[in-house]
C-alpha cells in the first residue's frame, strides 16, 4: 500500500512579502524626476551650509577695502567681492545656513501650532471651530508680507523676530488644511468605532486623526519652506530682517542694489541662490504630492 507524503504548506507570509510603506514611498519618490532634481539642489545647499567653514578660508564679515568690487575668479575670490571687500562666495555659503535654518524652523513652528488648532477646530466644532476659523480668516485677510512687516515692526528688527513673524503668518495655512481633513475623517467608521468603545478624545486626535492628516501637511510643509525663504529674503531686502554683517541673502541684495551697474555679481549670486533653493523645494514638494496622492498610484 502506497502512502501519501504530505508536503508542508508554506506560510502565506513567506510567499508574499508586503513592502514597507516608507520603502514604497521612497521607491516611488525616486521615480519622480522633479523630486530627484529638487532633492539634489537641496542636498547641495545643505552640504554648503554644513561644511561652510571647510570650504573657504575667509570670514563672512572680514572686510578688506583694498579689494572692493573685485570681479569673479580674481585673486582667490571665486564670486568676487562686495562694496566692503568681503568675499562673496563666503557670504553666500554662510547665507545658506541662515536661509535654511529660518525656512525649516519657521515651517516647523507653523505646522505645530497650525496643526493643533486645526485638529481642535475640526474635531470639536461648534463655537470652538467658529472662534479659531474667524481668527484664521482675519489673518488671511491681510497680505502675508504686510502682516510680517507689522509683526517685525512691533517686535524689532532681528533675524529671530523675522523667523517668528514668518511662522505666525503661515499658521492659518496649515490650520485650515488640517481642519478640512479632520472634518472629513471624523465621520469615518474607524473614528465612530473609537468613540463607541469610549476612547478618549486626546487619543483619537493624536493616534487616529493626526497620522491620517500627515500627507497634506508634509507636502505643504515642503512647499512652505520655499515660501518662508522668499519671505525671509523680502524682509531682509526691506531692512527688517538680519542685521549687518549677517550674510542673509535678502540683506545682501538690499546692500548691493545701488551697485547693479558697477558690480552686477553682488546682486546676481545672492539672487541665483534664492532662486535655486526655492526651485529645489518646489520641485521636491511637487514630487511628494504626486508620490503621496493615492490617485497617482497604478
Query: What pLDDT is recorded for position 215?
Result: 85
Closest CA to 266 of 276, 253, 247: 253
Q: Which class for 8: exposed (0-12), middle (13-18), buried (19 or more C-beta within 10 A)?
A: exposed
What residues form DSSP beta bridges with 81? 87
Residue 231 in contact with residue 148, Cβ under 8 Å? yes
Q: Is the dihedral of CA 174, 175, 178, 183 positive or negative?
A: negative
Query: What pLDDT is recorded for position 131?
Result: 95
What does the DSSP 8-state code read for residue 205?
I
Report the 10 Å Cβ neighbour count for 105. 17
The pTM score is: 0.86
Q: How far is CA 97 from CA 13, 36, 52, 90, 212, in A?
A: 47, 22, 9, 11, 33
* Alpha carbons 147 and 192: distance in angstroms, whole number: 40
* Alpha carbons 165 and 40: distance in angstroms, whole number: 29
Query: What pLDDT is recorded for position 20?
Result: 66
What the chain holds in terms of domains, given with CATH numbers, is: 33-53+81-296 (1.10.3720.10)
- Cell numbers placing 185: 475623517
Query: What pLDDT is recorded for position 13?
Result: 43
Residue 42 in contact with residue 284, Cβ under 8 Å? yes
Chain centre distance of CA 279: 12
Residues of the chain with pLDDT under 70: 1-22, 293-298
Compute the mean pLDDT over every residue in the chain, rounded to the nearest whole number. Answer: 87
- Nearest-10 Cα torsion for 132, 135, 141, 145: -110
Q: How far is CA 137 from CA 141, 223, 249, in A?
A: 6, 21, 32
Report the 10 Å Cβ neighbour count for 143. 10
Query: What pLDDT is recorded for position 29?
Result: 76
Query: What pLDDT is recorded for position 212?
Result: 85
Q: What does the DSSP assignment read for 206-271?
A: IIIITGGGHHHHHHHHHHHHHHHHHHHHHHHHTT-SPPTTS--HHHHHHHHGGGTTT-THHHHHHH
Query: What pLDDT is recorded for position 282?
Result: 94
Query: What pLDDT is recorded for position 75?
Result: 80
Report the 10 Å Cβ neighbour count for 220. 22
Query: What pLDDT is recorded for position 113?
Result: 96
* Alpha carbons 271 and 169: distance in angstroms, whole number: 24
Query: What pLDDT is recorded for position 21?
Result: 63
Three-class SS of residue 93? helix
Query: What pLDDT is recorded for position 15?
Result: 42
* Alpha carbons 182 and 116: distance in angstroms, whole number: 11
Backbone angles phi, psi at 243, to 5 degrees: -90, 130
Query: What pLDDT is recorded for position 19?
Result: 52
Amino acid at each position: 500500500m502506497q502512502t501519501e507524503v504530505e508536503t508542508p504548506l508554506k506560510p502565506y507570509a513567506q510567499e508574499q512579502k508586503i513592502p514597507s510603506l516608507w520603502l514604497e514611498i521612497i521607491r516611488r519618490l525616486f521615480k519622480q524626476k522633479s523630486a530627484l532634481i529638487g532633492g539634489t539642489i537641496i542636498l547641495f545647499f545643505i552640504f554648503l551650509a554644513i561644511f561652510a567653514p571647510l570650504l573657504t578660508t575667509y570670514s563672512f564679515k572680514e572686510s578688506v577695502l583694498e579689494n572692493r568690487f573685485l570681479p569673479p575668479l580674481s585673486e582667490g575670490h571665486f564670486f568676487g567681492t562686495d562694496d566692503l571687500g568681503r568675499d562673496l562666495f563666503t557670504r553666500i555659503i554662510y547665507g545658506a545656513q541662515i536661509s535654511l535654518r529660518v525656512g525649516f524652523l519657521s515651517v516647523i513652528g507653523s505646522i505645530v501650532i497650525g496643526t493643533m488648532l486645526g485638529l481642535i477646530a475640526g474635531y470639536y466644532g461648534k463655537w470652538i471651530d467658529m472662534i479659531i476659523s474667524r481668527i484664521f480668516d482675519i489673518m488671511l485677510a491681510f497680505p502675508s508680507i504686510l502682516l510680517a512687516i507689522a509683526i517685525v515692526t512691533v517686535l524689532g528688527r532681528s533675524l529671530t523676530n523675522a523667523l517668528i513673524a514668518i511662522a505666525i503668518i503661515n499658521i492659518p495655512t496649515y490650520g485650515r488644511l488640517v481642519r478640512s481633513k479632520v472634518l472629513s475623517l471624523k465621520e469615518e467608521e474607524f473614528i465612530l468605532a473609537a468613540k463607541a468603545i469610549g476612547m478618549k478624545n486626546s487619543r483619537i486626535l493624536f493616534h487616529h486623526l493626526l497620522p491620517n492628516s500627515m500627507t497634506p501637511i508634509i507636502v505643504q510643509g515642503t512647499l512652505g519652506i520655499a515660501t518662508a525663504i522668499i519671505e525671509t529674503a523680502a524682509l531682509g531686502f526691506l531692512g527688517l530682517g538680519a542685521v549687518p554683517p549677517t550674510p542673509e541673502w535678502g540683506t545682501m541684495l538690499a546692500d548691493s542694489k545701488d551697485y547693479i551697474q558697477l558690480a552686477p555679481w553682488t546682486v546676481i549670486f545672492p539672487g541665483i541662490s534664492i532662486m535655486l533653493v526655492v526651485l529645489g523645494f518646489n520641485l521636491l514638494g511637487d514630487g511628494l504630492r504626486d508620490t503621496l496622492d493615492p490617485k497617482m498610484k497604478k
